Structure 1
Amino acid sequence: MPSESDASTRCLDENNYDRERCSTYFLRYKNCRRFWNSIVMQRRKNGVKPFMPTAAERDEILRAVGNMPY
């Protein structure tokens, strides 16, 4: 998620804070948050801790779903 957040911020900086020009970056960020939030909710429901996967687990999850699903 940091890369999506950084990309949207960078886009705003480069485009004089014209949000319309950066809408695809915002959509990617939103979809990324939605994806990882669903993972957190599923882990919480199943009693898996920590709720947010570790960096190694996130890499494994992304490989399992075919890299960036968002």
Structure 2
Amino acid sequence: MRCETHAANLIRLYVMFPSKKTTRMPLVTRRLRDPDINPCLSESDASTRCMDENNYDRESCSTYFLKYKNCRKFWNSIMIQRRQNGVKPSMPTAAERDEILGAMGKMPY
């Protein structure tokens, strides 16, 4: 005979097996791949591609690394200015970044 007062205290264990429906990219990875969040996505991809093509020889890809570093510095300074001016969001969207770069006439990095 089973006691009904303790039936609510039973712990049920559900095991989920990964499938194509439940397997997702981690949140951090999704953010890094989002062009609205990561302004230097193309520079990052170019440096990764260079490393793959050159058997991970860092010296061969130093120009790509420098371009990525300068891109991060540039958009970080824009983000700091916007935060000081009270503009939300502090990082411009991809469309706003295209307008900013278009107004400059050339790539600043």
The answer to whether TM tops 0.5 is yes
Paired residue type of 1:68: M
1:39-58 paired onto structure 2 within 5 Å: 39-58=78-97
Which has the larger helix fraction? 1
Instruction: State the structure with bigger RCO (CA 8 A, min sep 6), 1 or 2.
Output: 1
Query: What's the RMSD between the two structures over aligned residues?
Result: 0.6
| Corresponding residue for residue 62 of structure 1 | 101
Alignment gaps of 5+ in structure 1: none
- 2-side partners of 1:13 and 1:48: how far apart? 39
- Select which of 62, 71, 81 maps to 1:32: 71
- 2-side partners of 1:57 and 1:67: how far apart? 15
Structure 1 runs of 4+ with >6 Å offset: none
From the CA coordinates, give the structure whose radius of gyration is larger.
Answer: 2
Alignment gaps of 5+ in structure 2: 1-39
Identity of aligned residues (%): 81
